[in-house]
Amino acid sequence: MFKLFKITAILEGISYLVLFSNMLFIKPTNFELYHTLLYPIGMSHGVLFIGYVMLAVFLKKSQNWDLKTLGIILAASLVPFGTFYIDKKYLATA
């Protein structure tokens, strides 16, 4: 399950950046394309975000994370590039 969490963390980070790039770069130039891409990108990011949070909570006990570490791991999903930081700092050593 740990490997699945690592993969989900990376995919969640990528989907977050793709969602932002859709909002920042495509919306001002092509509003029709923005609406076409918004639903599939947003839905995939939402599913990956929920999976990331659920897997982090499930892995808390098996990885011996304290509440502070779990809080940092969960908060990183809200920051762009946060899951990449978590992958390098917390998931590479485990």
Q: Say how many domains are in the chain.
A: 1
What lies within 8 Å, CB to CB, of 85 at 6+ separation is: 76
- 49-88 pLDDT, tens digit per residue, is 999 999 999 999 988 899 999 999 999 999 989 999 999 9
Place of tokens 């923005």: 34
Nearest to 8 by CA among 67, 94, 91: 91
Give the position of tokens 């990108």: 41
Domain that holds residue 25: 2-91
> Cα 58 vs. chain centroid, distance in angstroms?
16
15-24 tens-digit pLDDT: 999 999 888 8
**Residue 18 is which amino acid?**
V
Q: Is the pLDDT of residue 93 over 80?
A: no
What is the model's pTM?
0.87
